[in-house]
Amino acid sequence: MNGTMQLGSQPSGSSTAAAAIDYAHQSEKLSHQLSHDKEHPESVAVEARFVTPQDPVIVTADGHRLPGVPLPEAYKLNALKAALDKERSPVRRRSRSQSTGHLKKVKEATNQKLQGRRGRKPSEAALGASSPPSHTNPLFPPLPLYGPPSLLRDIQCMTFRVSAFFLSAAFLAVIVLGALFTSIPPLCLRIWSRLKLQDPDTKRPFHQEELRRSRTRAEENEAWVKQKAAREGATNGTSDEKGTPQTSSSNFTPTEGGPDPIVCDPAYYARRVGLDIEEIQVQTEDGFIIDLWHVYDPREYTKLDDEERGYRTPDPFTGSKRKRLRNPNQKPKFPVLLMHGLLQSSGAYCVNDDDSLAFYLCKAGYDVFLGNNRCGFKPRHVLLEYSDPRMWAWNIRQMGVYDLAALTSRVLFETGFDKIGLICHSQGTTQTFVALAKEQRPDLGEKLTVFCALAPAAYAGPLIGKMYFKFMRIISPAAFRIMFGIHAFIPLMMDMHALLHPKIYGWLGYKVFSFLFDWTDTRWDRELKDRMFQFAPVYVSAESMRWWLGRECFAKHKCILSTKEQWTAEEKEDEAMGTLGTVQIKGRENGSALADQHGKQQQQQPGRRRLKGSTAWYNEQVCPFALWVAGNDDLVDGKRLLRRFENGREPHVKVVHSKVIEGYEHLDVIWAMDARKQVFDEVRDVLWKTCNVRDKCRVPAGCEEVEAWVSPKEQSQTEGEQSSSDAVS
Q: How far apart (Å, rounded) are the C-alpha atoms in residues 568 and 557?
A: 10
Q: Give the sheet arrangement for strand 420-425, strand by strand.
A: 276-283, 289-296, 366-371, 334-339, 420-425, 448-454, 625-630, 655-661
DSSP one-letter code for 376: B
Which of 20, 85, 32 lies closest to 62, judged by CA? Answer: 32
Q: How far apart (Å, rounded) are the C-alpha atoms in residues 446 and 417?
A: 12
Distances (CA, A) of 720 to 34, 103, 454, 603, 623: 66, 68, 36, 15, 24
The residue from 346, 426, 541, 562 that is catalytic is: 426
| Type of residue numbered 194 | R
Any catalytic annotation for residue 443?
A: no
Q: How far apart (Å, rounded) are the C-alpha atoms in residues 306 and 71?
A: 38
Interacting residues of 42 by C-beta distance below 8 A, sequence separation 6+: 60, 61, 62, 64
DSSP one-letter code for 129: G
Interacting residues of 265 by C-beta distance below 8 A, sequence separation 6+: none
Distances (CA, A) of 423 to 94, 219, 463, 695: 61, 34, 25, 22
Is residue 297 within 8 A of residue 330, CB to CB? The reply is no
| Type of residue numbered 197 | L
Three-state secondary structure call for residue 48 = strand
Q: How far apart (Å, rounded) are the C-alpha atoms in residues 245 and 226?
A: 10
Give the orientation angle of helix 151-182 with respect to helix 492-499, to 10 degrees. Answer: 60
Any catalytic annotation for residue 666?
A: yes
Q: How far apart (Å, rounded) are the C-alpha atoms in residues 393 and 370?
A: 24
Any catalytic annotation for residue 633?
A: yes
Is residue 533 within 8 A of residue 505, CB to CB? The reply is yes
Main-chain phi, psi angles of 457, to 5 degrees = -110, 85
Is the Cα dihedral 19, 25, 30, 34 positive or negative? positive
The residue from 64, 497, 557, 666 that is catalytic is: 666
The residue from 260, 355, 633, 668 that is catalytic is: 633
Catalytic positions, please?
A: 426, 633, 666
